[in-house]
Structure 1
Amino acid sequence: MDAVGAARLAGLVGDLGAERGPRYAALAARLRLLVADGRLPVGARLPAERELAPALGLSRDTVTSAYRRLRDDGWALARQGAGTWTALPAGPVRAGWVPGPVGEGVLDLAHAAPAAPPQVPAAYAAALDELPRLLPGHGYHPGGLPGLRARIAERYARRGLPTTPEQVLVTSGALHGLSACLDVLLRRGQRVVVEDPGYPNALDALAAGGARPARVPVALGDGDGAVAALSAAARATGAPLAYLVPDAQNPTGLTLDAAQRRRLAAGLQGAGTLALVDETFAELALDGEPPPPLAAALAPGRSVSVGTLSKAVWGGLRVGWLRADPPLVHRLAAALARRELSGPVVEQLAACHLLDGLDAVLAERRPALRASRAALVAALGEHLPSWEVPVPSGGLFLWCRLPAPTSSALVAAAARRGLHLAAGPRFGAGHAFEDRLRLPYTHPAPVLRRAVADLAAAAADVAPQDGPAPAAYVV
């Protein structure tokens, strides 16, 4: 059982000044949030009340009362002489950065996961029709179905990166492939260049692998600055690996253009840093044509690309892939085989049909996302004019700047109104990004307009007086 030190927990809790009600209730609410979104692991032993109280600047009675509320609500357990440790209450709540069941009447705005397009049922029906021809075999395809690997390779070639099927390895989603890459490419204690803020599950995977992140600030609208800073960090740290999201970066939405990708590739190669490129949102350019893959600007053997159908098509289709040079593909295949012998056949057959018709899927998905994005931006401008809302050219979310560092308090207030949100600090370290909130535009426009009205009410609960509107509101 891991113990959480008082200083570290105080850093995660952050400022409680925006929370309403008694201090003990505010502290209990913040600790619940930390467990629910995975920043505080289930089963972690909490510091003693006498240690946490001075770290937070609270009385010992306040901390004791907060722990008691956590125990009463099922978020903590205690045993005489053993201390207090985090737990999960009974019911649909899940800890960690994973979409799970939500209560009736609750809208999930924490995760950017679009609904399935109408082509998915037809793809599964076609897969079942095709399945009999494979049934005489043993059913194991460790590298993925040959037809699926060929289609993925063809898709890369169409995007400007010539690829053979031998350079493709099918995985059970992007995170599955990312974890295998970290197993093969990293040793515990090595540095990894990462964007800050970043994708929570990737940051968790890096931490689980013992990586030491070299965090590089990135922002929408400053691709040149991001390229220079990422290249400088690679040189300064000697990091063997950089985890990058050059297409609609999660959560900022930053997309590097072709020239920026070439400069970043040169910087990484000069530092001897291999690029681990997450292309989860590469097919979701909403304004203009997507730039070529970052790997196209890198020398052979200097990149691994991670792809998936979870955002372009549907999260329930657990099919992803890795693209690398064949020798590295063989090493990655061995690492994946230690996790699972082979992926499911029916899903891969369905993925073949969906890749054959992916352009048609995207032709419907992109206009719908543009409409939802416009509706969300307009609703925020109407109801929350003091928020800064930069608009990305692709992806599934906005990275909003709040007028005050109240993100965690806002998440707690919104939950009482039926909105499930992700606090800004979940995308960074400690309580950084308390002035940020990521909002997906994966729901229909009418749903988003109602959600923003509720969000504005929650924001009023946290900070009744909005500040002045920003000078430029980008639409």
Structure 2
Amino acid sequence: MVGTGPRSLAPLLDGWRTAGEPAFRSLAARVRLLAVDGRLASGSRLPAERELAAALGVSRTTVSAAYAQLRVSGHLESTRGSGSVVRLPPAPGGRGRAPVVLDLTRAVLPCAPQVHAAAVRAAAELPARAAAGSGYDLVGLPELRELVAARYTARGLPTRADEVLVTPGAQAAIGLLARTLTSPGDRVLVESPTYPHALDALRAVGARPVAVPVRAPGARDAGGWDEEALEGAFARTRPSLAHLMPSFHNPTGAVMPPGQRRAVVELARRYGTRLVVDETTAELAIDGPAPGPFPADAVHVGSVAKTLWGGLRIGWVRADARTVRHLAQHRSPWELGTAVLDQLVVAHALPELDDVLATRREQLRAGRDALLGLLAAHLPGWGLPRVAGGFCAWVELGSESSSALVTAARRRGLHLTAGPRFGLDGAFERFLRVPYGYGTGVLERAVPVLAEAWAEVRTDGADGAGGLDGAGGPGQPGDVV
């Protein structure tokens, strides 16, 4: 069981007070949201009432009442002598719980039709593969590695098969890189906001993230990476590793221009930093061509989850052959290889990826245009980004209300992820990630619900005094993709 001390919990609770509402209710609502979003892991122990009260500058009575409300809602379990432990209530459906209507916590696309035929061909091939070996393989099927290498080469980055390692998805690749390329206490440069599970992987190995701001492109602002902050972070901390998403960044949608990419490579060389470039969204262009791959002096991470289907847990690392061998040697005991059947499916589908991407472009364009139009009509005070690719919009709310809004929306059956899930230490309460890959029909149902929740937050200043009804449901806490 992991304990959460008052010093580490206090930043996550920053801005928890809500005007016009009893302090204990505001505190309980924020802790519930942290648990549902995965920022407080189920099973973690909260600080003692007296300790948290001192850290927040409130009375012990306030914390005691908040803990009592959390016990009633099923989000806290207290045992004499053992403290108070975060819990998640059962899935919705019981009396008094609103059914989950829409789950937009995951930024995904539907399965590409090409996967179906590829799965049939792969299944027919599986018996021969099963008879030929044990199925345990730490580097990946040779033909799939060849296909991934050929795609990099075609995009302008010459690659050989021995420079590719196949993994069970991009997140597994990031976790493997974090375990093998960093040591506890190492500084790791990350973007802010960033992909939450990348932060989780780095923190799990004891790395210390160093944040560099990224802004969403807007009507009057090109957005992107703060050059001065980038240079300062490299020079000040000399990070051992840097994790970047330079092509349709998740969640802002920003694209790093070629000149800045070259500058980052030079900074990494100067300060001895290993660059890890996550390009899982790199080919999801909507307007114009997709950006080329990042310069070769980096470790590249890719996946088919955003292009073919998330249910195919296939990703890869593209690096020099020596690094690939090193990674393969250190996969065990966390991983013993990658599923052979999934690899076969991807090997059969990958040659058709250009056709898949053409369809994806149309799907994403329709979703983006529908979302931005609906938001402009229903929520005209929000700041909308200029989205040229990727699968989500990083929307500015105009006030620090993201957690309150997500709580109010959940009560209405709409599940979204609050902005702070994408930042360090409770940042980004002014922002909300809204995916648009679900199709116009889903968005037409979701945005009016979101507008209704926003009206409650703005009118009443309430952020969940009545509790988080339906806190379970599709998309388990912490699942942000």
TM-score, normalisation: structure 2: 0.90
Deviation of 1:268 after TM superposition, in Å, equals 2.0
CA deviation digits over 1:11-41, x for unaligned, max 9? 2122234477543333222111111111112
Instruction: Please tell me whether the aligned partners of residues 248 and 255 of structure 1 are also in contact (alpha carbons under 8 angstroms).
Output: yes
Aligned to 1:151: 147
1:133 counterpart = 2:133: no
Alpha-carbon distance between aligned partners in 1 of 2:196 and 2:267, rounded to the nearest angstrom: 26
Which residue identity does 2:130 align to in structure 1?
A: L
Structure 2 counterpart SS, 1:157: helix
Instruction: Please tell me whether the aligned partners of residues 19 and 26 of structure 1 are also in contact (alpha carbons under 8 angstroms).
Output: no
1:123 counterpart = 2:118: yes
1:406 counterpart = 2:401: yes
CA deviation digits over 1:239-272, x for unaligned, max 9? 1211111011111111112232222222222222
CA deviation digits over 1:49-69, x for unaligned, max 9? 223234334443332222122
Alpha-carbon distance between aligned partners in 1 of 2:224 and 2:339, rounded to the nearest angstrom: 42
Which residue identity does 2:239 align to in structure 1?
A: A
Instruction: Please tell me whether the aligned partners of residues 234 and 242 of structure 1 are also in contact (alpha carbons under 8 angstroms).
Output: no
Task: Flag structure 1 segments of 5+ consecutive residues without an equivalent.
Answer: 94-101, 467-475
Alpha-carbon distance between aligned partners in 1 of 2:61 and 2:460, rounded to the nearest angstrom: 32
Alignment of 1:295-374 (within 5 A): 295-296=295-296, 298=297, 303-374=298-369
Alpha-carbon distance between aligned partners in 2 of 1:357 and 1:249, rounded to the nearest angstrom: 25
**1:198 alignment partner, one of 181, 194, 199:** 194
Which residue identity does 1:460 align to in structure 2?
A: A
Do the aligned partners of residues 17 and 286 (structure 1) sit closer, same or farther apart at CA in structure 2, a change above 3 Å counting?
same
Which residue identity does 1:431 align to in structure 2?
A: G
Alpha-carbon distance between aligned partners in 1 of 2:224 and 2:450, rounded to the nearest angstrom: 34
Deviation of 1:233 after TM superposition, in Å, equals 1.6
CA deviation digits over 1:302-361, x for unaligned, max 9? x21111001112111000000111111001011223222221111110001111111111
Alignment of 1:410-421 (within 5 A): 410-421=405-416
Aligned to 1:289: 289
Instruction: Please tell me whether the aligned partners of residues 278 and 302 of structure 2 are also in contact (alpha carbons under 8 angstroms).
Output: yes
**2:160 alignment partner, one of 164, 173, 176:** 164
Alpha-carbon distance between aligned partners in 2 of 1:232 and 1:11, rounded to the nearest angstrom: 24
CA deviation digits over 1:445-472, x for unaligned, max 9? 1211221111011011001399xxxxxx
Aligned to 2:203: 207
Alpha-carbon distance between aligned partners in 1 of 2:300 and 2:98, rounded to the nearest angstrom: 36
Q: Please, which moves more after superposition, 416-425 or 59-68?
A: 59-68
Deviation of 1:419 after TM superposition, in Å, equals 0.9
Which residue identity does 2:176 align to in structure 1?
A: A
Which residue identity does 2:190 align to in structure 1?
A: V
Structure 2 counterpart SS, 1:338: coil
Instruction: Please tell me whether the aligned partners of residues 283 and 291 of structure 2 are also in contact (alpha carbons under 8 angstroms).
Output: no
If asked which structure has higher relative contact order (CA below 8 Å, sep 6+), I would say: 2
**2:182 alignment partner, one of 175, 183, 186:** 186
Structure 2 counterpart SS, 1:294: coil
Aligned to 2:46: 46
Identity %: 47
Do the aligned partners of residues 118 and 108 (structure 1) sit closer, same or farther apart at CA in structure 2, a change above 3 Å counting?
same
Aligned to 1:392: 387
Aligned to 1:469: none
Alpha-carbon distance between aligned partners in 2 of 1:464 and 1:385, rounded to the nearest angstrom: 16
Alpha-carbon distance between aligned partners in 1 of 2:138 and 2:214, rounded to the nearest angstrom: 37
Task: Flag structure 2 segments of 5+ consecutive residues without an equivalent.
Answer: 462-481
TM-score, normalisation: structure 1: 0.91
Deviation of 1:104 after TM superposition, in Å, equals 4.4
Instruction: Please tell me whether the aligned partners of residues 216 and 224 of structure 2 are also in contact (alpha carbons under 8 angstroms).
Output: no
CA deviation digits over 1:359-414, x for unaligned, max 9? 11111111111110011001111111111011221111111111110111111101
Alignment of 1:50-69 (within 5 A): 50-69=50-69
Structure 1 counterpart SS, 2:243: strand
Which residue identity does 1:449 align to in structure 2?
A: E
Do the aligned partners of residues 131 and 50 (structure 1) sit closer, same or farther apart at CA in structure 2, a change above 3 Å counting?
same
Aligned to 1:273: 273
